[in-house]
Amino acid sequence: MLYDDGLTRDKSGKRTDKTGQRDLKFSAWHRKYLSNKCYATDIDFFEYRYINAEISPKAFLEVKEQHVRHSKYINTANNKAILSLCQKLGIKFLIVLYDINEEYPEESVFYVWEVKSIQDLERYNENNFQQFFQRMSHQGFIKYMEEL
């Protein structure tokens, strides 16, 4: 479905990133001016589909480079908050670690964990990484995402 709404899009109609830079002004404001009883997290991706002209939520994704496996980056209050939201919405929470080969994308590797419980987050550590994360090829991850 192609849109002509004046926003930057590629030839297939997908939105493009205009600057390639992350705007952190609001984040800095939130941290500086709100008290420590106000918590917030950014959600990397909200995956959804259009089904019969209606938005159908599928998953929230927390995405990091594949070397970021340490439990202090996985078992976080932010991830617990996102999981709680997903459970209330009845959608998946995926932690995706990636090793994207920009020159040869088909050689990229993804590690995907569909988090089901806070207890699983608390049990995770990098020594039991393979018990939680499933390794996927470029094509495997495409298929997985498109079948959500």
pLDDT along the chain (148 residues), means of 10: 65 70 88 94 94 96 97 96 98 98 97 98 96 98 98
Q: Give the integer Cα–Cα distance in Å for 96 and 129.
A: 12
Residue 6 lies in a domain: no
Residue 105 lies in a domain: yes
> Under a CB-based contact definition with an 8 Å cutoff, are residues 83 and 101 in contact?
no
Q: What is this structure's pTM? A: 0.87
| Structure tokens that stand for 76 in this block | 């976080």
Q: Give the integer Cα–Cα distance in Å for 33 and 28.
A: 9
Residue 9 per-residue DSSP state: B
Predicted local distance difference test score (pLDDT) of residue 4: 66
Residue 128 lies in a domain: yes
Residue 36 lies in a domain: yes
**Angle, vertex CA 74, rays to CA 69 and CA 77, nearest 5:** 160
Overall number of domains in the chain:
1
